[in-house]
Amino acid sequence: GHRLPNLEFQLLDVGATRHEGRYDFVFTIDVLHHIHQPLQFFQALRCLMCTRGVWIIIEPNLFHPYIFYQQERMKRQG
């Protein structure tokens, strides 16, 4: 794995976690479009991050051929 003394991986419920200014880096993949209250999510996430924290967001691109294929495959399977 990726073990370093200054590296920690966590899966968090942003709304239920209270660690103000703790995280330097946040990575989300395929999450943002599931958030029902984006402003509250953004505010909670911001509270968790250090002042110069970085958030990398990866979301599906419906125009990418692989994603398009997977979406069509799922539709056909019901």
45-69 pLDDT, tens per residue?
Answer: 999 899 999 999 988 777 778 878 8
CB 56 within 8 A of CB 28: yes
Report the alpha-carbon distance of residue 50 to residue 26 in Å, rounded: 10
- Is pLDDT at 7 greater than 90 in this prediction? no
Q: In the numeric block, which tokens belong to residue 57? A: 């967001």
Please state the rounded mean pLDDT for residues 30-54: 91
Amino acid identity, position 42: F
Amino acid identity, position 9: F
Please state the rounded mean pLDDT for residues 13-41: 86
- Is pLDDT at 1 greater than 70 in this prediction? no
- Is pLDDT at 2 greater than 80 in this prediction? no
